[in-house]
Amino acid sequence: MSGVQENTGAAKTGFRESFDLSTYLVTDSAQARAAGHDLVDLVYEAVAGGVTVVQIREKDTPAHEFLDIVLRVSTAVARKVPVLVNDRVDVYLAAREMGAKVAGVHVGQNDLPVASVRALVGPDAIVGLSASTEDQLFAAGVRSAGVDYVGIGALNPTTTKKDAPGALGHARMAELVAVSKLPTVAIGGIGLEDVPLLRAAGADGAAVVSAICGAVDPREAARALAAAWAGVRAGEMA
């Protein structure tokens, strides 16, 4: 995008030019632990199963612990898929400064203004923004905002995000996807049965938390979600 402030420290992961939102994992370390998984191992297995983007979301984790998680996850999978940092632009910048191949950030409506986020992270980072109304989608699509994709939600009731907006349902989700000028990923209580409906509505991806972080087998859970997006049975996936 033109008009973005240059940042010579930007990490050039190459993902901003082309990234696949279809099977998008948002992490929850508490759910992972409850299911008996180390978070980094879970992310690695999920990527092996077909996850195409990883967003590290650890809202209740101190900054130094969050940074450690970002560094370890990036080491495990950042050469394969984009690794995004939720909300904490400072953690993203610190990880990048330490050599991590982090690809960008995802911020919400109550975080730093996205134009300021873009100025901080530079032109090569992916910037995602949460949205749930037509006005928010319109603002995100303004070129000067520097947003690469929007996360629309919540589709279904969810307990994984304390400040999640009310459930939209599939009909309203389809309306918002149609309004967006940017690639869209749906989020919020998404299960396997929602994935084909979201693709049919024109979304570019489905973001999940519990469907992978709470799964007995994260690799197989990711494989099933990727297969559902592709429109084939999980057993038919290569």
Residue positions annotated with a catalytic role: 57, 130, 161
Q: Which residue has the tokens 């994260």?
A: 218
What φ, ψ does residue 72 adopt, rounded to 5°?
Answer: -70, -40
> 14: which residues sit within 8 A by CB, 6+ positions away?
none
- Using CB atoms within 10 Å of the CB of residue 82, give its burial: 0 to 12 exposed, 13 to 18 middle, 19+ buried: buried
- Residue 158: its H or E element: none
**Closest listed residue to residue 110, CA positions, set 144, 149, 136, 141:** 136
Q: Which residue has the tokens 């495990």?
A: 76
Residue 79: count of CB within 10 angstroms of its CB: 10
